[in-house]
Amino acid sequence: MAHFAKVLDGKVINVIVAEQDYIDNMIDTSAGKWIQTSYNTHGGIHYEPNSQTPREDQSGSLRYNYAGIGYLYDAEADAFYEPQPYASWILDTTTYKWNAPVAYPTDNKKYNWNEETTSWDLDESWDLDE
């Protein structure tokens, strides 16, 4: 089985699991287009199911990211990606993932993005003893 996203005006409005034959022969009079998406593709890399291990064969990598309802579709790049989470974040067009303008701290603590200051704030509920 494969996954297909219904795209209307560059936005994913539905995602289904179906055989290609079903998509090819279904009668769908609603606006939009069905486009295949890969459940195991993230950031342009196709992974082994339920793992963070990239597959040796990357031919299954489709459209950069698995499409979810509300995601966007760039037809020119043939890429699915999430809506921009914050106005200051930048779309990386090599992965079609959003990046903060400041790198996430690497001190193993939990942080939350502060759009007002465009910086990472330490999560006050963070407790190293738990």
pLDDT tens readout for residues 53-92: 999 999 989 999 999 999 999 999 999 999 999 999 999 9
Backbone angles phi, psi at 23, to 5 degrees: -60, -45
Cβ pair 98, 115 in contact under 8 A: no
Report d(CA 66, CA 33) in Å as an integer.
16
Q: What is the pLDDT of residues 5-51, one digit of tens each?
A: 999 999 999 999 999 999 999 999 999 999 999 999 999 999 999 99
Cβ pair 87, 95 in contact under 8 A: no
Instruction: List Cβ neighbours of 111 (8 Å cut-off, separation of 6 or more).
Output: 104, 105, 120, 121, 122, 123
pLDDT at 70: 98
Answer yes or no: is pLDDT of 124 > 90.
Answer: no
pTM of the model: 0.89
pLDDT at 128: 57
